[in-house]
Structure formats: structure tokens, C-alpha cells
Amino acid sequence: MSASMTSKIVLITGANQGIGFEIAKSLSSKPGYHVLLGSRDAHRGIKAAKDLKDQGLDVEPISIDVTSDDSLASAAHQITSKFNRLDVLINNAGVSLNEENISGPVLRTSYHDTFAVNTFGAALTTEAFIPLLSASPTPRIVFMSSVTGSLTHRWGIPVDLPVYRSSKAALNMLMLHYAFKFKDAGWKVNASCPGYCATNLNDFAGMDTPENGALNAVRLAMLGEDGETGTFTSKEGVIAW
């Protein structure tokens, strides 16, 4: 029997770079985890997966664009054919578009394109993989959120970014929807903030590393039976809603 048949199968969206890539690296280096490295661009995904496979890690690329129903269906079909279940889904794909000095139709497009990935994309990805997660004995879902989406911390974090921040606030509600829906079935569904990490998303201005940004998501992906569900945390602990 191949290792991937006995391992936990993990799908990470937007894992060809940044924090998603570091989550893929970390989880695939643990015994018993087989990582499907999601990328909207097939070539970038193949290259990123090769980087990790060359280090002896248990990774394979998969094409997945969270804004495309066809892409989601195709990825679900491939995972069904190959594994017939999914143990961990990490909704990591995200964008932060320019929000400065825009208005009118450009602002409308910015709201649309941001929510299409960060919020609707995560929701529709989760919906597409619920049947496969239901076939796992221990389903885990991690939503990559942000402390900037916290209502409590709106005043405390003085950056504007109303588009990005509201997309993550809505994402937290989506996380709670799924946590509540699958609570009695034992699923662990949580949101993680990686901290302000230097990635392409912020032109590498973040103060922390993407490796550190992966830590809490990896912890949540590996929660045991007594692990939490319906929470919003960072590696420092609980974040106020």
C-alpha cells in the first residue's frame, strides 16, 4: 500500500508561495501527512511541489482556482478518484488588492475581486470538498483569516483596508457556520491569523516570516479528538472577534 493511502490527505489552496507554501512544507515533513499543494497556475504549482519533493517531502501539485466552479469540481474529482476522501482542507488562498484612492467602478471591482477569492472562494471550496471530508474519520478545516478582520480590533489596528478587512470579517462568520454545522460530527473547524508576514500579498513588507505564519495553521490542521472547534486564534492565542 502506498504511503499516501495510509497518510492523512491535506489540500491547501494557494500553496505555491507564501504562507501556504510554508504550511505545505511543514505538514509534508510530518510523518503520516500527504500534501496536495494547490495552485491556480499549474506551472507554479508543479515548480513549488518539485522544490519540496526534491527535499524528500510527501507533496504533489493540484490545480485549483477558488473562483472557478469548474476548477473546484475538477480538483474534487481528481481527489475522489485517487484517495476517495480528504482529511484536511486549508482555505489559504487570498488576495489583498490596492485600496488607496479608488472609487466608483474601480472600488466596486476591488470589492468583487477580493470577496471572490477571500470569502466566496473559501465558501465554495469548502462546499466542493464537504463530501470528501465527510469520508474522513477526522475532518479538519482551517480558514486563513486575519486579525485585521476582527471587529474588536478595528480601532486598535489603524490601517484602513475596508475591502480586505470586511472580506476576512465575513470569512470568520463562514468558519463559524461550518464549525456549528459539523460540531456534533466531531469536525474541527477553525480560523487562523498568521501575523503580519513578509509575502507577495504585502510586497514583502510584513515583519514576521511566512514560516512563522504557518505555525498556527499547522497546529489547527493536526488537532486531535479533544482539539477546539469554532475558534479564531494566532500563534499567540485567542483573538477577539
Ligand X SMILES: NC(=O)c1ccc[n+]([C@@H]2O[C@H](COP(=O)([O-])OP(=O)(O)OC[C@H]3O[C@@H](n4cnc5c(N)ncnc54)[C@H](OP(=O)(O)O)[C@@H]3O)[C@@H](O)[C@H]2O)c1
**Which residues are identified as catalytic?**
146, 168
Minimal distance, residue 235 CB to ligand X, in Å: 12
Span from 73-81, 93-101, 105-113, 221-229 in contact with ligand X (CB under 6 A): 93-101
Q: Is 61 in the site for ligand X (CB under 6 A)?
A: no
Nearer to ligand X, 7 or 14 (CB): 14
Q: Is 172 in the site for ligand X (CB under 6 A)?
A: no
Q: Is 152 in the site for ligand X (CB under 6 A)?
A: no
Number of residues that bind ligand X (CB under 6 A): 32
Among candidates 207, 208, 14, which has minimal Cα distance to 96? 14
Q: Is 174 in the site for ligand X (CB under 6 A)?
A: no
Q: Is 17 in the site for ligand X (CB under 6 A)?
A: yes
Q: Which of 10, 11, 14, 62 binds ligand X (CB under 6 A)?
A: 14
Positions that interact with ligand X (CB under 6 A):
13-14, 16-20, 40-41, 44, 64-67, 92-95, 117, 121, 144, 146, 193-194, 196-197, 199-202, 206, 210
